Structure 1
Amino acid sequence: MTELEKEIMGIISSAGESKAKAFEALKKAKSKDFEGARALLKESRELDLEAHKIQTRLITAEMSDDISERPELSLLMVHAQDHYMTSQLARDLIETLIFVFDKEEE
């Protein structure tokens, strides 16, 4: 596995863990454990940040004037972007749902 592939797999791994934490948070909220849900959402955001840092490095490299430094576009890279974007969307929606559920309890 190349260094680039390892970085791309880092995006996939972090995004997948982030999405899993967000769905765990939703389960906590459904059982009215809002404190636990918020803690899991915090973990989810931190994992998304890890994926974002890798993505930013790769995008910056792609903008390099030196063609030899540009990462190769691949199906694996597209797959990683898909995972990252869906994990962000899931977390954002779940955060909103948890906010609504919590307000209903007040």
Structure 2
Amino acid sequence: MDFEQIVFEIIVHAGNARSDAFEALASAREGNFNEAYKLIDKVKEELQKAHEIQNNLISLEAEGEHIQPNLLLVHAEDHLMNAILAKDLIIELIHLYEDNQKCMVKK
């Protein structure tokens, strides 16, 4: 696999993670927390795949194989960071929806 294909794999996995994260948020908004957490598990799997690719690139660089940064790599890293941030924030929002629902049931 050439460098561009490797970088696109990061973009694909990060994009899948971000999409699943927002789907999880929508499920939580509807009160379907089991589905929300299943989707969060998928998010974590996609991010793990992206991290593995990223770690392989870092390992190559550490072993002396220079990785020439380019706009595509920067774009991939941007996608990955945004997906991670989305996951973290959406997990917190899911917890808030869940807590809110528990409070409503107590009333």
| Identity in percent | 37
Equivalent residue number for residue 75 of structure 2 = 79
- Structure 1 SS opposite 2:69: coil
Q: TM-score, normalised by structure 2?
A: 0.91
Instruction: Kindly provide the CA deviation profile for residues 36-83 of structure 1, in whole angstroms up to 9, marking residues without a partner as x.
Output: 000001001100000000000101111223xxx222211100000000
Structure 1 residue corresponding to 2:96, chosen from 79, 90, 100: 100
Q: What letter corresponds to residue 39 of structure 2 in structure 1?
A: L
Q: C-alpha separation between the residues in 2 aligned to 1:70 and 1:39?
A: 39
Gaps of 5+ in 1: none
Equivalent residue number for residue 91 of structure 1 = 87
Aligned residues: 102
Q: What letter corresponds to residue 70 of structure 1 in structure 2?
A: H
Let me know the Cα RMSD of the aligned residues.
1.0
Whether the 8 Å CA contact 1:9–1:80 is kept in 2: the answer is: yes
Q: C-alpha separation between the residues in 1 aligned to 2:70 and 2:62?
A: 16
Q: C-alpha separation between the residues in 2 aligned to 1:33 and 1:99?
A: 12
Whether the 8 Å CA contact 1:4–1:71 is kept in 2: the answer is: no
Moved over 2 A (4+): none
Whether the 8 Å CA contact 1:18–1:87 is kept in 2: the answer is: yes
Q: TM-score, normalised by structure 1?
A: 0.92
